[in-house]
Amino acid sequence: MISAYAKNGRVVEARRLFDQMPYRNLVSWNTMIAGYSHNGCVAEALQHFKMMRKEGKDPDWSTFACALSGCANLAALQVGTQLHNLLLKSGHIIDIFAGNALITMYARCGRILTARQVFDEMVSVDLVSWNSLIAGHALNGYAKAAISIFQEMKKNGVAPDEVTFIGLLSACSHAGMVDDGLELFYSMSRDYPITPVAEHYACVVDLLGRAGRLGEALKLVKGMPIKANAGIWGSLLGACRMHKNPEVANVAAEKLFEFEPHTTSNYVLLSNIHAEAGSWGEVERVRVLMKERGVWKQPARSWIEIKNEVRSFSSDDSTEPRAAEVFMVLRVLNAQMRNIGHMSDSSLLDCG
C-alpha cells in the first residue's frame, strides 16, 4: 500500500500509513525512502534514512541506492560521501544499482574524476552505468570526453540507446559543438535502429539555438515527423532569450502556452525577452495575459547543504531562523558590488 500511494504521488498518505504500522521491516523503510525520492522529496528521503539508522535498522544496497539518488538530486556532496563511506564500511559490495547512483551523485556534485573512479572500480557495469558517466561529463562541460566515453562504450560491445544520445547531444549543445552534435543526431537512425524522439529534437533545437541559428532551429521544429512538445518549444524560447530574438520568441511562446497555459516561467521568460528589446507594450501584453489566465509568479526556492544538513530557502521566506543574517550578508554583498562599479541591469529583472 505504501508503494501504491507513493507511485501515485500521495506521499503524505504513504507516510501516514508507514507511521501507523506496528512493525516496520527493511522493505517498509526502503519503500518509504524510494517513495520520497520518486516524488522529488529528496530532503525527506535523506531524513528518513537517518531515522532508519537511529532505530537500529541496517540498510542494504537498495537503501543506499535510493538515498544516494536523493543526494544526487540535491547535489549534497558531503552527505553522499558519507553514505559512500558507510556503504564501504558495511561490507556491502557496490553493485550496479548503488554504483550507478554513486556515479550520478558525484557527477552532479562536480566530482567527475571520482565518478569515473567509481565506474572503473565496479565489478560489472551496464548500459545505465555508461549513460550515467556520459551524462555526468556532459553536465560538467566535458563534451569531448563524453564522446570519447561513447567510443569506448562501443568498443566494449555495448550498443547505445535513446538515453545515450540525449547525453551526447546535450554535451555538444553546451560545448557549442554544432557539427558534432548534428552528426550524432543523424547517426541515430543511420547507424543504429533508434528513431529520434521529442527529447532528442529538443536537444538539437537547443544545440542550434545556443549557436544563434534560430532560423534553422525553427525550420527543424516545423519539419519534424512528430508533433513538437513543450520541451522543444521551451528550448527554442530559451534560445531566443540568449540571442535577443523577440520575433521567434513570440512564435515559440504561443505554441508553448498551448501546452503549459499556467506555467509562470514561460510568461516571465517572454516578458523578459521583450523587456530587453525595449518593447514595453509587449511586456504589458504578457502581463495582461497572465492576469486573464490567473497566472502568478511563485517565489523561487533553493536547497543548500550546510554542515551535513539540507536546508531550504525561498525568496520571501522570513521564517528561516537565520533569515536576518542572510539578508544582512546580501546587503553587504550588494554594497561591495556597487563599490567596485557594478551597475545592476534592470532589463534582466523578471518582468512577470
Instruction: Say yes or no: 274 and 325 in one domain.
Output: no
44 occurs within a structural domain: no
pLDDT of amino acid 346: 44
- The answer as to whether 213 is a domain residue is yes
Domain CATH number, residue 268: 1.25.40.10
Q: pTM for this one?
A: 0.70
* pLDDT, position 99: 87
Q: 3-class SS at 126?
A: coil
Same domain, 214 and 279: yes
Q: If we measure between CA atoms, which residue out of 198, 279, 266, 261 comes closest to residue 238?
A: 266
CB 104 within 8 A of CB 72: yes
Shared domain for 211 and 290, answered yes or no, is yes
Q: What residues pair up with 305 in beta bridges, in sequence order?
A: 310
Classify residue 268: in a domain, yes or no.
Answer: yes
Q: Which residues of the chain fall below pLDDT 70?
A: 42, 70-77, 79-80, 88, 90-93, 297-323, 341-352
In a domain, 52, yes or no: no
218 and 257 both lie in a single domain: yes
C-alpha cell, 94:
557496490
Q: How far apart, in whole angstroms, are the C-alpha atoms of residue 266 and residue 171?
A: 24
Q: Which amino acid is at 120?
A: D
| Inside any domain, residue 2 | no
Is-contact 186 178, C-beta < 8 A? no
Question: Which pLDDT belongs to residue 172?
Answer: 96
CA distances from 225 to 181, 201, 215, 220, 228 (A): 19, 10, 18, 10, 9
Instruction: Find out whether 105 and 80 touch, Cβ atoms under 8 Å.
Output: yes
Domain identity same for 262 and 207:
yes
Say whether both 282 and 309 belong to one domain: no
Give the domain-ending residue among 298, 316, 342: 298
Q: Give the pLDDT score at 325.
A: 76
Question: Which range marks the domain in which residue 262 is found?
Answer: 194-298
Res 250: pLDDT:
96
DSSP-derived letter for residue 159 is P
**308 inside domain:** yes
DSSP for residue 225: S
Q: Judge if 215 and 277 occupy the same domain.
A: yes
Q: Which one-letter DSSP state was computed for residue 295?
A: -
274-297 pLDDT, tens digit per residue, is 999 999 999 999 999 999 998 876
Q: Is 120 inside any structural domain?
A: no
pLDDT of residue 347: 44
Please check whether residues 277 and 199 belong to one and the same domain: yes
Question: Residue 296: what are its φ and ψ, rounded to 5°?
Answer: -135, 155
Q: Which residues pair with 88 in a beta bridge?
A: none
CA angle 106, 89, 132 (to 5 degrees): 25
**Per-residue pLDDT at 214:** 95
Mark whether 273 and 312 lie in a shared domain: no
Give dist(CA 106, CA 50) in Å, integer: 20
One domain, residues 226 and 321: no
Within 140-197, residue ranges assigned H as helices are 143-155, 162-175, 178-191
Name the 3-class secondary structure at 70. helix
Q: What is the identity of the amino acid at 140? A: N
**Is 281 found in the same domain as 251?**
yes
Same domain, 219 and 308: no
Q: For residue 8, tell me if it sits in a domain.
A: no
Please state the domain count of the chain.
2
